[in-house]
Amino acid sequence: MVKLNSHPAGRHFLQIPGPSTVPDRILRAMDYPTIDHRGPEFQALGKKVLADIKTIFQTANPVVIYPASGTGAWEAALVNTLSPGDTVLMVETGHFATLWKKMADKLGLNAEFLGGDWRRGADAAQIEARLAEDKEHKIKAVCVVHNETSTGVTSDIPAVRRAIDKANHPALLLVDTISSLGSIDYRHDEWGVDVTVSGSQKGLMLPPGLSFNAVSDKAIAASQRAGLSKAYWGWGEILEANKNGFWPYTPATNLLYGLSEACDMLAEEGLQNVFARHQRHAAATREAVKAWGMEILCQNPAEYSGVLTAVVMPRDASGQHYNADAFRKAVLENFNMSLGQGLTKLSGWVFRIGHLGDFNDLTLMGTLAGVEMGFEVAGVPHQKGGVLAAMKHLTATAGNNEKLAKAA
């Protein structure tokens, strides 16, 4: 007897805000025999990816690449620049900012958290005021998440840099770009960031497994006096080995093949075109959400994310939100599409639509059609026409990525 629906036909739509879908071109690049990581062939690969990744961070300084998740890069950023008991100023913009703060606590840092409502980005004025109060310069670093994956809110990093400068404060600026690098415009050098943290599985279109620290001269100087214990995460040995294209331990060779290909793909499209494409798809998604009569979690249009849109479920007659997880389950079971869940404070009443990475107009239309059909089968009240509204936006702006890139 044949089991019905044992293997759904067609591709699975992975529309969570990362890991993003890995394009065939990168999969083929990784499908290659592992080579000697001490030999000349690997050395050429190492030198290439170490040079190419700088262009993605928009930096002339070194970028450290770890065989690790983004969480590892968080830890590396902290332990290389800080000492036990140091005060760090962190900003509560969502779930991942909260996790980074918890890590700082575990490492023995004095993590001071500026509270937030998870619907807005970092408040530069609030940061400036707190730093201005710190006359003794006890605060050694300011830590901000650029694009909060749990909320769809992007913080203004240049404004944070200006806030630090206006306060005439020497604190380091550490920024998480795990869900924004390669998708949203980010400029490590120009914006005066000291350590930029990122990961491979979102805008870089790779599987999870690589993480990054882009480091300024000031951060490297701080690492010479930092007192937190480190071994695997220490920048010194890695940077020295990287000079010749190698690592001081076994690197993730096949992921580096993929990284090389990903950098080539982003360069071929042009970074500014990539950023414009993401913003255009995000705008079309928001048109759909508004047409459905639903609320976008992010409350400041200037902070809308180009990577994902977090949607608030409508309320029933009793004032309770319709269950976002029951809706997501209906979408998965009926249309073979995964949407992002609401995390911690947002659990059960928010879902997230990812629109990042190797993503085009038809992928977005399929995604939004799956959401709108999901509302219908799950019994979630909504207005019709969200897909049509997004389609109108896309057709009106078709071919505009290069124009949008030039305007930016």
Residue numbering of the annotated binding site for substrate: 352
β-strands 211-215, 13-15: how paired? unpaired
Both structure tokens of 170: 């020497």
Distance CA 408, CA 399 (A): 16
CB 145 within 8 A of CB 155: yes
Nearest to 393 by CA among 241, 266, 307, 279: 279
Helix axes 386-396, 361-378, angle to 10 degrees: 170
Unique residue bearing structure tokens 């049509």: 388
Distance CA 89, CA 107 (A): 15
Question: In terms of C-beta density within 10 A (0-12 exposed, 13-18 middle, 19 or more buried), how is residue 355 classed?
Answer: buried
How many CB atoms within 10 Å of residue 51? 12
| Residue stretches of the annotated binding site | 352
- Would you give the distance in Å from CA 291 to the centre of its chain? 27
CB 117 within 8 A of CB 92: no
